[in-house]
Amino acid sequence: LYLETLQNTLKALDKPSLSIILPAGEESKSLDNIQEIAGRLLSAGYGRDCTLCALGGGVVGDITGFAAAVYQRGVAYIQVPTTLLAMVDSSVGGKTGVNHPLGKNMIGAFYQPQAVIADTDTLDSLPEREFRSGLAEVIKYGLINDQGFFSWLEDHMDAVLAREPDALTKVIRHSCKDKADIVARDELEGGLRAILNLGHTFGHAIEAATGYGQYLHGEAVAIGMVMAADLSRRLDLIRESEQDRIYALIEATGLPTLAPALPVADYFGFMRVDKKAEGGRVRFILLRGIGSAVITGEVPPAAITQTLQAFMEHGHA
């Protein structure tokens, strides 16, 4: 949709360009595609002075960043995100990578882009489901770090869903600032940065268990956040009224709140290979009220099982 515009811009700057177009979807985040990209760059004679440009959503951003990190031991790259999810989350912070059949984003590198350019006009063409998926990460920032932003989203979700320009600008600017603040304090995820993974332990397990095709990333994260809120309440970290607010906002956004019915053991299997697991123990990002997150590996398996069963479609697996 926007390739020609970008090519014309580069032409005006007298920069020759090569286009590599990948199929949509998480399936594209593979080592095979890294080989393909490296082969195309080598065949075209690109050296270490080239710049890769990621035009697209989070999948394109993740794989382009990783290709840039490893091509000739590292070349410059720019993120030009065209989806809401990529604008507010994946394009910011320098996490790059590809998937492995045994786990999501298991092969990758921390590698910062030279710049992130988010043009909100590109959101006009974004399908409704993709747009709502991006809002899951927006809600996450309110939950982990910014109670005032969460309240603002509760009051203005209608304007956001209607894609009103002022509301969209606020959402994107605020999300990027919240994420950048956290990343600046812990770039390589030694501790604090892990709070950005609220909902992702359950969410990644849902994605991996369903083969990365059935749920969009934001949809899986939305279910994961509902589950994390439930688990937080079971452990007396948040009040029931707070859990109800979280559930209500995610539902008002039109995001799913139920996980696929699978054996609980399957979910545990995927959660144990999660990058946040330490010493075989699953680490969770939980909430101490809206606007405050805590990282813990001390969660009783029985409580996790109860949460999984409470939010599975068609009864308990």
197 among known catalytic residues? yes
Pick the catalytic residue: 140, 174, 200, 283? 200
Pick the catalytic residue: 140, 174, 217, 245? 217
278 among known catalytic residues? no
204 among known catalytic residues? yes
Pick the catalytic residue: 193, 233, 245, 275? 193
CB 29 within 8 A of CB 19: no
73 among known catalytic residues? yes
Tokens (6 digits) for 211 = 């083969």
Please tell me the distance from the alpha carbon of residue 12 to that of residue 253, in angstroms, as a whole number.
41
Pick the catalytic residue: 73, 240, 298, 314? 73
DSSP 274: S
- The residue type of 212 is Y
- The residue type of 75 is V
**C-alpha to C-alpha distances, 263 to 77, 210, 302, nearest whole angstrom:** 42, 12, 14
Pick the catalytic residue: 130, 197, 234, 242? 197
Nearest residue to 224 (alpha-carbon basis) of 207, 236, 245, 212 = 207
Tokens (6 digits) for 303 = 């409580």
174 among known catalytic residues? no
Nearest residue to 67 (alpha-carbon basis) of 98, 95, 22, 34 = 34
Pick the catalytic residue: 26, 105, 130, 189? 189
Pick the catalytic residue: 26, 130, 137, 219? 137
189 among known catalytic residues? yes
DSSP 27: G
Please tell me the distance from the alpha carbon of residue 209 to that of residue 213, in angstroms, as a whole number.
10
If you search the block for the tokens 């309240």, which residue do you land on?
Answer: 151
Pick the catalytic residue: 29, 95, 275, 283? 95
200 among known catalytic residues? yes
179 among known catalytic residues? yes
Pick the catalytic residue: 104, 132, 204, 233? 204
Pick the catalytic residue: 179, 245, 276, 283? 179
Question: Catalytic residues, which ones?
Answer: 73, 95, 137, 179, 189, 193, 197, 200, 204, 217
